[in-house]
Amino acid sequence: MTQKITVIRGDGIGPEIMDATLHVLDRLGAGLEYEFADAGLAALDRHGELMPQATLDSIARNAVALKSPLTTPVGGGFSSINVALRRHFDLYANVRPAKSFPNTRSRFGDGVDLVTVRENTEGAYLSEGQELSEDGEVAISGARITRKGSERIVRYAFELARSTGRKKVTAIHKANIIKSTSGLFLDVAREVAGRYPDIGFQEMIVDNACMQLVMRPEQFEVLVTTNLFGDIISDLCAGLVGGLGLAPGANIGENAAIFEAVHGTAPDIAGKGIANPCALLLGAVQMLDHIGRPQDADRVRQAIVATLAAGDSLTGDLGGSGTTMGFAQAIASRL
């Protein structure tokens, strides 16, 4: 059966890594149909706005989008287009796998295989409640945690553990100090954990979690946490397995999901054809899993692993001298 997805080619290195990713998906023969839509600077150039309604309509219709990085120009009416998209579609779960790959600059061998599930819509990242006193001496920012928001993110983490054969969920918090917000999150996490007797549950204070992640990352399977901690910890985890060029992320809601690379538009290397396409391609792997094509997802993942292991056509960030499309062709040839 054909599945239509919205494809946003993005800005900077976006179009290059998207072409490379689609090359691999085409070779896979997964029956995907692409509906191209613009956002970011490309949309501003073509349509006079950063996020055209037609793009929002396309994502709403298809419920699945593969998106390259976007530039949000200063003064463009958005603080970030990515954040605006997450809000618009209530994409509450930011899901970032971190799995060791061969032949990367990771310090941790092949022992890491974890997923960070970050709450994406509340917590400390609110635009309201930010204050600076008139004399500029005192600043205050608020955080909001809800039972509903905590419940759905923790449930998501447990369901993910179940569906991927993982056996443990670790809730990361600071409830010993931030008793109100982090305390509510932890209370709800405990309640939800009680409904999943088949999955182990562990609680860990965020500072200890950071140390444990660096000392013994192989002890973790699924991490679930609030927005700010999740933002920091998921980048830490990307660093455990070789950095930005290999870090994908999914933003998932009830009615839509957007899959992407974690990195930005990399203006310093844009247009040179040397960007690593793997982060976006791994985002496509998450997408294939999400739309119920786990075998296709596995095939692409294994082709990436085999290409990395062979050191074939690797891009500069991985120590090679290959091109974006050359790397994609090497991966596609292993499918």
Are 155 and 190 contacting, i.e. CB atoms less than 8 angstroms apart? no
**Strands (E) located in 43-112:** 64-67, 93-99
Is there a catalytic annotation at residue 135?
Answer: no
Q: Closer to ligand ATP at the Cβ: 204 or 241? A: 241
Indicate which single residue of 86, 166, 263, 299 sits in contact with ligand ATP (rule: CB under 6 A). Answer: 263
Q: Could you say which residues in the range 308-327 bind ligand ATP, by CB under 6 A? A: 317
Q: Which residue is nearest to ligand ATP (CB)?
A: 264
Q: How far apart are alpha carbons 33 and 42 in whole angstroms? A: 21
* Distances, alpha carbon 59 to alpha carbons 62, 139, 221, 282, in Å: 5, 38, 31, 20
Are 290 and 249 contacting, i.e. CB atoms less than 8 angstroms apart? no
| Least separation in angstroms between CB 286 and ligand ATP | 16
DSSP, collapsed to helix, strand or coil, labels residue 236 as helix
**Taking CB under 6 A as the rule, does residue 106 contact ligand ATP?**
no
Q: How many CA atoms lie within 13 Å of 296's alpha carbon, on the beta-carbon side?
A: 20
**Taking CB under 6 A as the rule, does residue 307 contact ligand ATP?**
no
| Least separation in angstroms between CB 333 and ligand ATP | 20
Which of 38, 67, 92, 125 is labelled catalytic?
A: 125
Q: Could you say which residues in the range 11-70 bind ligand ATP, by CB under 6 A? A: 13, 69
Q: Closer to ligand ATP at the Cβ: 248 or 253? A: 248
**Taking CB under 6 A as the rule, does residue 282 contact ligand ATP?**
no
User: Rg of the chain over CA atoms, in angstroms?
Assistant: 20
Return the range that interacts with ligand ATP (CB under 6 A); candidates 94-102, 147-155, 216-224, 265-273: 265-273
CA 9 to chain centre: 17
**Taking CB under 6 A as the rule, does residue 269 contact ligand ATP?**
yes
Residue 200: its H or E element: strand 200-205
The structure tokens 């100090």 sit at 177
Indicate which single residue of 266, 282, 285, 287 sits in contact with ligand ATP (rule: CB under 6 A). Answer: 266
**Taking CB under 6 A as the rule, does residue 137 contact ligand ATP?**
no
Are 10 and 68 contacting, i.e. CB atoms less than 8 angstroms apart? yes
| Least separation in angstroms between CB 11 and ligand ATP | 8
For binding to ligand ATP (CB under 6 A), which residues are involved? Answer: 13, 69, 244-245, 263-269, 275-276, 279, 317
